Copies of this chain bind each other. A is one copy, B any other.
Amino acid sequence: MEPRISIITIATDDLDRAVRFYEGMGLTRHAGITEGVAFFQTGGAILGLFPRQSAEEDSGVTFGKAPSAVYLAYNTRSDAEVDAVLAMAERAGGRIVKPAGRAFWGGWYGYFADADGHIWEVAHNPAFPIAEDGSISLPG
């Protein structure tokens, strides 16, 4: 297995609501494939929104409830950007789960829940550098 993750899919309880949320976060839905699914190009990976029923039919799996124990993080380039992303999540129909504050590791961070109740951490961690193309790296 090469060290990469291709697609992060959210088995959503309401596809239209989830699309509105992620569009409200500034992501652009892929215009080509829209039948019962939504895709967003996110750097070298893809974010997918797929109705829970479709995902369960396809996989044969009954997925657990939100908030999912697999959760996502958006790392920012500044403390102020953390505040801005959390505010944007609230405006887009999400919920602030933990308001921004100082981390024991020195950064500035908080958490929001998306429209389905799945969790995103939003963090400014200067120890994990972000390249111009948005790639993040562990310390060398």
Contact = CB atoms under 8 A, between A and B. Distances in A.
Q: What copy number does this chain have within its complex?
A: 2
* Interface size classification for chain A: 35 or more
B74 A72 contact: no
A30 to B, nearest CB: 5
Interface in A96-122: 97-98, 111, 113, 116, 118-119, 121
Interface of A: 1-12, 25-28, 30, 32-33, 39-48, 52, 55, 59-75, 85, 88, 97-98, 111, 113, 116, 118-119, 121, 123, 128, 130-131, 133-139
In the A-B complex, the 9 residue pairs with the smallest Cβ-Cβ separation, listed nearest first, are A44-B135, A7-B73, A6-B75, A4-B134, A68-B68, A4-B43, A63-B69, A68-B70, A11-B69
6 contacts: A6-B73, A7-B136, A12-B69, A32-B139, A61-B67, A61-B119
